[in-house]
Amino acid sequence: MRKVLLSIVSALVTSLSLIAPNPASATVIGATGCNARVANAAATAAVATTTVWMAGDSTMANPSATCPVGWATEFDSLFHSNIVVNNLAVAGRSIQTWLYEGNVTSTIGSNGECVLSSTTYSSRWQQMLTDMKAGDYLFIQFGINDGSTTCPRHVGTARYQALMTMMAQAALARGAHPVLLTAVAAITCSGSTAVKNRGFVSQTIAAGAATGSPVIDLQTLSVDYYNSLGLCPNNGDYTSGPVGQFFCNDHTHFEAYGARRIARLVTGALRTQNIPLAGSLL
């Protein structure tokens, strides 16, 4: 009987050894599964980036010299790596010359607006329309050069509102999120107080209301900030002191220090206005 039992036990052991997984094979399978998960995670991370598109003028634009530096230049460094800033702001542009580069003539039409030789969009706006994806953001800030009385930069208030509304609607149609901004203020003093000096404010607000887009009142934020720094009064010397640290040798454009401060005003507004992009701030 004992021999019979031993034979049965031996047979069971042999059978189990045949069906048990090879430890080395189990390790390989586990490693392969882990590698696949890592690869999938990396692929997901690669497609999960959000692009922040920037449309504006020299107060936003990337620098071509030490000064001026646009505030949008400093934006990327304030976010986690899932945010990519594509700054297509260009110095000297109104909203219309930015949209229709080379096609805005120097002739004022009977409606008081600069005549377009063609309605073909600029390459920068075409790039945005092509590459903008759902979840992206579009920041739009003009309203400085637009106040010119002569073409091609002149833009009337109704035209300005219509163009900003059109840009916001184009972003929405692609599942992106427009954020409209009033123009950042220059430093203008009335005695010891910095005062507002930009137009197209009500038109920007109206475009926001028409499209359900948040509006950041950067003019008010910047003027309030200048007053908090005590930049007024000043003697007009933009080469030294607190004013010289903030501005180039004019009253409009920013040194890198000033651009960083303005960029932080914008990110602060993202938080206070509960704009979801704030969730990616450092």
Residue 1 CB: number of other CB atoms within 10 A? 5
pLDDT of residue 14: 43
Q: Distance of CA 255 to CAs 71, 247, 252, Å?
A: 9, 5, 10
**Contact present, 133 and 51 (Cβ < 8 Å):** yes
Task: Name residues whose C-beta falls within 8 Å of residue 111's C-beta, 6 or more positions apart in sequence.
Answer: 156
Read off the pLDDT of each residue in 248-274 and give the average, rounded to a whole number: 97
What distance in Å separates the CA atoms of residue 143 and residue 147, rounded to the nearest whole number? Answer: 7
What residues does 53 pair with on adjacent strands? 86, 138
pLDDT tens figures, 121-175:
999 999 999 999 999 999 999 999 999 999 999 999 999 999 999 999 999 999 9
Based on the number of CB atoms within 10 Å of its own CB, is 194 exposed (0-12), middle (13-18) or buried (19 or more)?
buried
What distance in Å separates the CA atoms of residue 9 and residue 5, rounded to the nearest whole number? Answer: 6
Position 30 pLDDT exceeds 80: no
pLDDT of residue 244: 94
pLDDT of residue 35: 60
β-bridge pairing 50-56 and 83-87: parallel
| pTM of the entire predicted model | 0.84
* Residue whose token pair is 């701030």: 281
The CA-CA-CA angle for residues 240, 77, 272, to 5°, reads 90
pLDDT of residue 236: 82
Q: Quick one: CA dihedral 65, 71, 74, 76, positive or negative?
A: negative
Q: What would the two tokens of residue 152 be?
A: 């091609």
Report the run of H or E that residue 268 belongs to, with start and end.
Answer: helix 256-272
* Residue whose token pair is 């430093």: 187
Q: Quick one: CA dihedral 99, 103, 107, 112, positive or negative?
A: negative
What distance in Å separates the CA atoms of residue 215 and residue 212, rounded to the nearest whole number? Answer: 9
Long-range contacts of 112-115 (CB under 8 A, 24+ apart): 112/156, 113/154, 113/155, 113/156, 113/159, 114/151, 114/152, 114/153, 114/154, 114/155, 115/151
Q: Distance of CA 163 to CAs 58, 159, 193, 226, Å?
A: 19, 6, 33, 30
| Residue 47: band (very low, low, confident or very high) from pLDDT cuts 50, 70, 90 | low
